[in-house]
Structure 1
Amino acid sequence: MASMSSSLSAAVAGVYKRVLPCPPAIEFSSHEGKALFTEALADGLMNGFFKLVSTFQTQAEPAYCGLTTLSVVLNALSVDPGRTWKGPWRWFDESMLDCCEPLESVKKNGITFSKVACLAQCAGASVQAFRASESSLDMFRSFVEMCVASDDHHLIVSYDRRIFKQTGTGHFSPVGGYHRERDLALILDVARFKYPPHWIPLPLLWEAMNSIDEVTGKSRGFMMIFKRSKAPCYLFTLSCKDEHWRAICKYVLVEVPQLLRSQVFDNPEQVICTILGSLPAAIASFVKWVVEVRPAVDGPLQKIDKDENQRLLYKSEVLQQLRETKVSRLIANINASYCGRTSANENLEDMAWQACCQGAAAFTGINCLSNIKCIKKEANVATKGEMERAVVFSNRVLLNGCEQVVDALVPKLPSSTSTTDICECSSVEDSFYPSTRDLLAILLIALPASTWEELSNDYVHQEICQMISIEDLPTELQLEVEHVFEQLVLLKGSCAE
């Protein structure tokens, strides 16, 4: 008997779930909850439930509710993450949602409302976010009804658990259904280890969203996430993970309007020159160009397939359209030095190498780039046929002791395109992917219209507005500008937090 007892392990005390406070909640699996489900289903207000429950998961960390909720919604919408999760499978997981906030920070402190909205867009979805303080109960109810009746629009709510008499404070979860007659919303709680799915009176949910987040000093809210009509294929993205992003965002959205208000300008050239002359040095870390990468399983410099070629051609056309805008030409005419205003290591080969390192980390699911070492860099121009214009950078990397080859696919402008008349500092790199001049041009065009309202000279204001108007731009470039503008709007909220 003694030998048996010595082999037993001591039990460790812990918490197994919580008792759901009812009321105000109604447990989904209860008799009443099932009846509510049946009635809401017959009313056509449970359509979104089935996609959500098909991808539903429990948050892996106590503070991961925002990441888990977004993972569930992105997978329910069939948004392709463009990177592997495990083995060959592409599937959103919390660990992949790190473009806006380091995972260690989220694990420790959670994540804010604006950051979740920013993450949704970074992940490839479209998002409409509303703080409760800036909307209304009727508006919220209309979004709830629209989303639960659809299987391609889903609603995420950020609320204070204490309003429901639950333990904890701020929380994120998706809304899975709505009972119109009793005005109840179905909360699919991603903390399944704590509370089961439950019905909550919609006015009470609104009250919980209209509470103040003590971290940001702003109210919580709701956001509608939906899939874009076509897969994103963008040249540029705004980075809110780099340490400089807050200062640059503040400069772009706050200090530039103040700068325009404080001076009198005689022509558009003076306006652009003043803005460029006061730009933070780290602007290239805020506006970044997107490089497509792929693992080169059979060795470097593989043939570019049809889909890859189409995306590269699309990006090449957008870049060419951007360089033909008045803003881009004006930047070059003001001072050619702005075209090459880059850090010493900001050349095409080095930046492609950085992209390959990030890709290698993403393909293997690691977060520490310090585990990656360069072995060899190679470049080759793929020129099969007139329609295939690309530079393939194949980098051999050592990843945790294992060698891996990663290709970076960089679109090349047509050989007939002349950059010398656009920018005196044109270089070999300038013929390929975006230079810093291009980053500045897209940023200026994407600035909110209110930025230029500070100009006191009506003539200059009119000229600038005409110059940055997107109405006459080609459709492809319009989509690019709208993407950057949407990111600016979302980052404005994050910056205020």
Structure 2
Amino acid sequence: MTRYSLIRAVRRSKPLEWLAACVVATLVACAPLSPVANQAADQTAHQASLQVPASAAVRPADGPLPVPPNLVALTQPAGQKRLMATAHKQSYWPLSQYFETQRNEAYCSVATSVMALNALGIRRPESTQYPDFPYFSQEDFFRNVDPQVANAARVSKEGMTLDQLGAALSAFPVEVMKFHAGDLTLDQFRDLILDTTGRSDRFALLNFSRVEIGERGGGHWSPLAAYDAASDSALLLDVARYKYPAVWVPVTQLYTGAQAVDSVSGLSRGMVIVGTRAN
């Protein structure tokens, strides 16, 4: 029976029967033509979805993931209070001015780097995206990077390791230092955060495992913008803004996340620090 004939058949029925017929007709019109086996699988999946707890449907499909209880979002009053109270927030102002969202799910290293390069105030190159205005952009990031080190096509699928990003950033007019967390003590790791967040001419780009700080996902890159001594936490400006907001993370957990081994390099993750070159 077609959708039209189905509706006509119950046109003179009671209101509730009419409503039910409309719903059925809509489903008939929208149902895909598929083999019987696929129809059975789809029906099973649909029934299972109806049994999902209501709590699982609280988050909109296109919204950010919930912030883990061990982290404090910058947008929360407690997060804002930390930022206002600490003296180690000089990195926050220039970095937030040039905040970027990564162009794809593997471009976290590129978005993080572009933020830092623009925030350093160094001479900017011509931009494909903004022809009249020099600007470091994700689109042009690999223009002068040795393709044997990293290239757009490969990074779009795999991302970049600590050593790769360190080498790629060496193609820019900046001072680059890289540190594998496996070679650092917790105190040394914290000192690097303290040194960079208290300045506006040097930034810490952190490579870490999300799981170790309570988030969902794998390896990730984002810049650190501030440090709060009272809570011993650092402000992570997450470039995956579609997934998580900027959050305060306990330094001990950041350290654990940075010590996680990168499956590609077989080495621990860590930190790349970029700064202006001395004259």
Aligned counterpart, 1:16: 63
- Separation (CA, whole Å) in 2 of partners of 1:110 and 1:26: 27
Aligned counterpart, 1:84: 127
Aligned pairs for 1:178-257 within 5 A: 178-230=227-279
Q: 2:138 is matched by which residue type in structure 1?
A: E
Q: Secondary structure at the match of 1:96?
A: coil
Match of 2:210 among 161, 167, 180: 161
- Separation (CA, whole Å) in 2 of partners of 1:15 and 1:214: 29
- Separation (CA, whole Å) in 2 of partners of 1:112 and 1:83: 27
Asked if the contact 2:90/2:198 (under 8 Å) is kept, the reply is: yes
Asked if the contact 2:162/2:272 (under 8 Å) is kept, the reply is: no
Q: Indicate yes or no: 2:182 matched with 1:133.
A: yes
Aligned counterpart, 1:25: 71
Aligned pairs for 1:228-377 within 5 A: 228-230=277-279
Cα deviation code 1:418-454 (max 9, x no counterpart): xxxxxxxxxxxxxxxxxxxxxxxxxxxxxxxxxxxxx
Aligned counterpart, 2:221: 172
Q: Indicate yes or no: 2:164 matched with 1:120.
A: no
Q: 1:78 is matched by which residue type in structure 2?
A: G
Asked if the contact 1:71/1:94 (under 8 Å) is kept, the reply is: yes
Q: Indicate yes or no: 2:136 matched with 1:103.
A: no
- Separation (CA, whole Å) in 2 of partners of 1:203 and 1:210: 11
- Separation (CA, whole Å) in 2 of partners of 1:82 and 1:187: 27
Aligned counterpart, 2:18: none
- Separation (CA, whole Å) in 1 of partners of 2:61 and 2:77: 29
Structure 2 portions without partners, runs of 5+: 5-29, 31-59
* CA apart distance, 1:229: 2.9
Q: Secondary structure at the match of 2:274?
A: strand
Question: How much identity, in percent, do the aligned residues show?
Answer: 25
- Separation (CA, whole Å) in 2 of partners of 1:39 and 1:153: 21
Cα deviation code 1:242-284 (max 9, x no counterpart): xxxxxxxxxxxxxxxxxxxxxxxxxxxxxxxxxxxxxxxxxxx
- Provide the alpha-carbon RMSD of the alignment: 1.8
> Which structure's residues are more often helix, by fraction?
1
- Separation (CA, whole Å) in 2 of partners of 1:75 and 1:119: 16
Asked if the contact 1:97/1:119 (under 8 Å) is kept, the reply is: no
- Separation (CA, whole Å) in 1 of partners of 2:244 and 2:113: 18
- Separation (CA, whole Å) in 2 of partners of 1:206 and 1:177: 15
Q: Secondary structure at the match of 1:90?
A: coil
Cα deviation code 1:184-238 (max 9, x no counterpart): 10000000111000000001100000010111111000121101134xxxxxxxx
Q: Secondary structure at the match of 2:62?
A: coil
* CA apart distance, 1:93: 0.8
Aligned counterpart, 2:138: 94
Aligned counterpart, 2:46: none
* CA apart distance, 1:145: 0.8
- Separation (CA, whole Å) in 2 of partners of 1:82 and 1:38: 34
Match of 1:52 among 73, 95, 99: 95
- Separation (CA, whole Å) in 1 of partners of 2:140 and 2:164: 14
TM-score by length of 1: 0.42
* CA apart distance, 1:119: 1.7
- Separation (CA, whole Å) in 2 of partners of 1:28 and 1:15: 20
Structure 1 portions without partners, runs of 5+: 3-9, 231-497
Asked if the contact 1:137/1:203 (under 8 Å) is kept, the reply is: yes
- Separation (CA, whole Å) in 2 of partners of 1:223 and 1:110: 15
- Separation (CA, whole Å) in 2 of partners of 1:32 and 1:82: 39
Q: 2:172 is matched by which residue type in structure 1?
A: A
Higher deviation after alignment, 46-55 or 92-101: 92-101
Asked if the contact 1:67/1:94 (under 8 Å) is kept, the reply is: yes
The structure, 1 or 2, with the larger RCO (C-alpha pairs under 8 Å, 6+ apart) is: 2
Q: 1:103 is matched by which residue type in structure 2?
A: A
Cα deviation code 1:344-396 (max 9, x no counterpart): xxxxxxxxxxxxxxxxxxxxxxxxxxxxxxxxxxxxxxxxxxxxxxxxxxxxx
Aligned counterpart, 1:38: 84
Match of 1:147 among 184, 196, 199: 196
- Corresponding residue pairs, total: 217
